[in-house]
Structure 1
Amino acid sequence: MRKKLAAGNWKMNGTTASLAEVDALLAAHPAPGCEILLCPPATLVSAMSARIGDGPIHTGGQDCHAEPSGAHTGDIAAGMLVDAGASHVILGHSERRQDHNESDKDVRNKAKAAIAAGLVAVVCCGESDAEREAMNTLEIISGQLAGSIPDNVTGENLVVAYEPIWAIGTGKVPTLDQIGEVHDFIRTQLERRFGEGVGRSVRLLYGGSVKPSNADDIFAVSNVDGALVGGASLKAADFSGIITALDNA
């Protein structure tokens, strides 16, 4: 059985004062049935990890460099995230692909580095509005999966997050049938490439305007093993409802 995962991406939000939201989450979910992950800005990874201690929440980074060290001003190596207390890292988010021109090859190399350092790589994929309108969604997803995921993956070191770009932070949500179609397709692609054992053990997350009000329906969709949540993860009151929905799924 794949353990459900509720992952929160704080993006470029949060200061030390924001860690009070972590305290609230710990109080609300002292023994959750699902796995919980929070990925704050790099400035908070160490403090958040220390705050959680042995609690039931994991801490992750939002990106890492493909190299273990070197002259890469402003970048963070996977080993540095591990040293700061992280266990996961988000890679290939559409905002990184767009804002920093990251290619599938870039994401693949970062994922290799993350896995080598002992991190779980949360690799993102998703189509734009134009690609959806052109009915190219599955072709785009297939290419991103093939190009972004390295060969040495298992259900323990890889999570795949499907985030349709047009639904991130917009309030737009694909239909349940659309979500199911893509998640079933991703599962099939993983099984074909890595075999049924690995292919069926990798957790698939949906991301894109997930809220407590729609979480129950989304988590009932085939091959949706959890969510990668943006804005709704910044406040414990909002994220808690999503965690509860996943616990009950």
Structure 2
Amino acid sequence: MFEAVREAGELGLLLARKSGLRRWNKADGSQVTEGDLALNALLEERLRKARPGYGWLSEETPDAPQRMAHERLWIIDPIDGTRAFIEGRKEWCVAAALAENGRPVIGAVYRPRLAEFYSAIAGEGATLNGAPLAMADSPSLEGARIAGNRKALAPLAPLGVAGDPSGALPLQLRLAYVAAGRLDGAVSVGRRNDWDLAAGELLVIEAGGAVSGTSGEGYIYNRPEPWQQGLVAAGAKRHAALINALRT
């Protein structure tokens, strides 16, 4: 999987330089490009060919209920941050995870423009370009650098959170930044798709943190609905403080 994600990232770099890259809006209003589809095709070819008995869930493949019959499931976002990809910016990545019995066991987030490869294996830790990741933690939210949408950050402002409402980083990179200690946490409200979460969630957990929905419930993947209700990610102590703040 790591090799396939790297290969997809390099293909993305080549396509990003292509002039006149076709793009259009999907039914939900989000943008997609021929680059998204090309990376999706590459990942599907590499991963499904290698493991034909695994299920498949990708942002760029129509969902099929047959995936739920599989114990193991690939969860793929060929390009997380399509707008940045279209505009030639650096804030896009390739993300892939393998879930087993509803939980991620292998994950990778690759940011090709900066040559940053985040990876994690359940029980074996998380790394950035091979260097182990370990998060700092605190029960205090004072001065904490928390990325999120404005609706999620609003109840945290009175607690001294240094909110970052910027939408530049897609969710997978926000989670990777939490795992790497570049952010102290990430919050979001509303439905969040499984392909935007699974790989990054494992990075945070394996770096010593915690991830859940906004009510504190843990994520289970490969359900009929391929989404989770909200996001709270941080070190374990700060995660508990964020959950308490969002509940009040």
Provide the TM-score with structure 2 as the length reference: 0.26
Structure with greater proportional helix content: 1
Provide the TM-score with structure 1 as the length reference: 0.26
